[in-house]
Chain A
Amino acid sequence: MDVSRRNNVVVTGNPEGPAVLLAHGFGCDQNLWRRIVPDLAQHCRVVLFDHTGSGRSDLSAWSAERHGTLDGYADDVLDICRELELRDVVLVGHSVSSMIAVLAANREPERFAQLVLLTPSPCYVDDGDYRGGFSRADIDELLAALESNYLGWSAAMAPVIVDNPDQPELAEELKNSFCRTDPAIARVFARATFLSDNREDLRKVTVPTLVIQCAVDAIAPPEVGQFTHDQIAGSKLVTLNAIGHCPQLSAPESTAEAILEFVVGR
């Protein structure tokens, strides 16, 4: 199996630095890390990939069974670590990938030096005293919202590059991937993302962990970030003065700074 091709693995940055593996969340692909890669690359060996079924991954490698749970994605992450022979990995997971990171690190803790959980939520659905922020009906509504956007998917999501006329290779790259996903695949990924409950897995984390959250985040509200931090013994919590669920896009400098301070102490 050619894992690098399967997951469209891209390695960049400082080969002498620690290996930082960036796992993108539900919705788009590794392009989401674009704005923080330059900063990270100065100090770290940055490894980017697309989850199987997303971006420019090999869609034929996707299976509803393996990728119907977050464990399947964690297996993919471990495959990448093995094929690239990554050791002492800093695994950075955004959104749902923060839980994929937790699962991977719990499976093979010796492989990972640190975990960075960016806007994590161990459980999106409210449950008793726990407030994930969503009801089961909300999640059904989300699945319906996804469904109605697939009707015009190809036309609606064809990316138009307006700001990089002098970088045709970038335009080429974007045209082929981005937030385009096969609707059937996105449906399964959405279910795995929003219906998983990984609260119990947090307590099993032994790898040093940094939790980064945004001050305002409709998907992973601050109390969920706090819960994640509380459950992982010895973890560190950084709250960015940022709004939204994707601080690597909306506040790239402070996001990169928080990661680098944790990883290389600067």
Chain B
Amino acid sequence: MTGPECVTFAALLEDSAEDLYDNAPCGYVSTLLDGTIAKVNATLLRWLGHDRDDLVGRRRFPDLLTVGGRVYYETHVLPLLHMQGELGGVALEMKIADGTRLPVLLTSVVKKGPGGQAQLIRTTVFDARDRRAYEQELLRASQQAELERDRAQQLARTLQQTLLPPALPEVPGVEVEAYYHPASLDQVGGDFYDLFPLTAGTWGFFLGDVSGKGADAAVVTSLVRYTLRSGAIDDPEPADVLRHLNAVLNHTNPRLCTVIYGRIRPDGTGATVTLACGGHPPPVLIRADGTRELVRMPGGQLVGVLPVARFTTTTVHLGPGDTLLLYTDGLTEARIGADIRYSEEELRDDLSGPATARSVIAAATGLLASFGAGVEDDTALLAFSVQPPGATSPVS
């Protein structure tokens, strides 16, 4: 910039510090530490419709705020200024002389004397009408979103409850325990289980996992549950129950599922369990002597994929002290490292024996808790154990 231009600019600006202070595009107010107004600029006086003489030395800054703002100022702003010397971005409303209000944003610093002692609070006041209107919209939107989320969770919870048995029936001589871990509060999961009486002395049960989650999966889960329950009514062979389910799913829905269907018959020496498997992870069998094994039923196919599917069956006898755990892959496919997932074998090794239905469910839920956010899918657990000799309730 050359000399003459400089002079022109200076003349245009007519800049004096005083003029800059008084007619700045923001309000300035200086107060004593207790809030008494010591100095205020013309901009703020104009905004508020006050005369300088009404305010300086006569009013405290909090007096210019709405009641709510005053309490906030006294309980939050002044203490923070005392303690940390400055504060920015405080959203408050100031009272205008005509009774209306001016939303403002305040930034304050404490001015120190030469000895470091606090002397004054200097505050800049920005007109925040537009911004506040926008914020109100945001606030309303976030409150609405919170409400919607509560509603979605409530709906998901209710729906989930209808997909699980409210209580498990008693099976004489057999301890039964189940657990359901939802991966998300917002969505219904696709895992399911049930236990129900079939004939005198025989109980049917199933545990499985419908692909996907949410409302669509819930529709299929509901269909699967009722198809299994109705297909089991005459206590056919377990593999036939799955064949029936496969036929229904093939006709009606593109979804697929994995499931174990079985029946349990208490006898004089424990209980006989017959299992049919459709592509589901193998149950863990924990013997009374502490040995553990995976009950594999290789060759069982996913339910709902092929028009005619093959299902494999096996029979296990549970003696006193033996425990059988059925689970879904939410547990065995939990992420336990960057690229590492838990496995069926690790589950088998991590469960200690001998166990009971209750203790094995406690151990499995403990594992779920230890995986934390690594559990990415819902998990259903169902366990049976035969009470060891000498337990309070005799085997019938």
How far is A27 from B78 in the complex, measured between Cα atoms in Å? 11
- Residues of A near B82 (CB, < 8 A) are 35, 246, 249-250
Q: Which of B35-52 contact A (CB under 8 A)?
A: 35-36
Cβ-defined contact, B74 with A218, below 8 A: yes
- Residues of A near B78 (CB, < 8 A) are 244-246, 249-250
Which residue of A145, A151, A155, A250 contacts B72 across the interface (Cβ within 8 Å)?
A: A145
Cβ-defined contact, B72 with A178, below 8 A: no
Which residue of B33, B79, B112 contacts A179 across the interface (Cβ within 8 Å)?
A: B79
Q: How many residues does chain B have at the interface if contact means C-beta atoms less than 8 Å apart?
A: 39
Q: Which residue of B lies closest to A152 (CB)?
A: B89
Interface of B (DSSP majority class):
helix
Interface residue? B20 (CB, 8 A): no
Cβ-defined contact, B89 with A218, below 8 A: no
Cβ-defined contact, A218 with B62, below 8 A: yes
Interface residue? B168 (CB, 8 A): no
Interface residue? A161 (CB, 8 A): yes
Q: Which of B130-145 contact A (CB under 8 A)?
A: 132, 135-136, 138-139
- Residues of B near A113 (CB, < 8 A) are none
Which residue of B60, B68, B86, B138 contacts A243 across the interface (Cβ within 8 Å)?
A: B60
Cβ-defined contact, B135 with A151, below 8 A: yes
Q: Which residue of A lies closest to B32 (CB)?
A: A243
- Residues of B near A139 (CB, < 8 A) are 68
Chain B 61-80 interface mask (CB, 8 Å, partner A; 1/0): 01100111111101110111
Cβ-defined contact, A163 with B85, below 8 A: yes
Q: Which of B78-132 contact A (CB under 8 A)?
A: 78-80, 82-93, 112, 116, 132
Cβ-defined contact, A142 with B79, below 8 A: no
- Residues of A near B35 (CB, < 8 A) are 243-244
How far is A80 from B85 in the complex, measured between Cα atoms in Å? 32
- Residues of B near A161 (CB, < 8 A) are 84-85
Q: How many residues does chain A have at the interface if contact means C-beta atoms less than 8 Å apart?
A: 46
Cβ-defined contact, A179 with B76, below 8 A: yes
Cβ-defined contact, B83 with A142, below 8 A: no
Cβ-defined contact, B139 with A151, below 8 A: yes
Interface residue? A68 (CB, 8 A): no
- Residues of A near B86 (CB, < 8 A) are 160, 162
- Residues of A near B68 (CB, < 8 A) are 138-146
Cβ-defined contact, B84 with A249, below 8 A: no
Interface residue? A156 (CB, 8 A): yes
Instruction: State how many angstroms separate the Cβ of B32 from the closest Cβ of chain A.
Output: 9
Interface residue? B34 (CB, 8 A): yes
Interface residue? A72 (CB, 8 A): no
Interface residue? A219 (CB, 8 A): yes
Q: Which of A198-257 contact B (CB under 8 A)?
A: 216, 218-219, 242-246, 249-250
Interface residue? A12 (CB, 8 A): no
How far is A95 from B62 in the complex, measured between Cα atoms in Å? 18
- Residues of A near B66 (CB, < 8 A) are 141, 145
Interface residue? A147 (CB, 8 A): yes
How far is A219 from B135 in the complex, measured between Cα atoms in Å? 27
Interface residue? A148 (CB, 8 A): yes
Question: A146-B72, A149-B76, A243-B34 are known contacts; what are 20 more A-B pairs with Cβ within 8 Å?
Answer: A27-B75, A27-B76, A28-B75, A32-B79, A34-B83, A140-B68, A143-B68, A144-B68, A148-B91, A162-B85, A162-B86, A163-B84, A174-B83, A174-B84, A179-B76, A216-B34, A245-B78, A246-B75, A246-B78, A249-B82
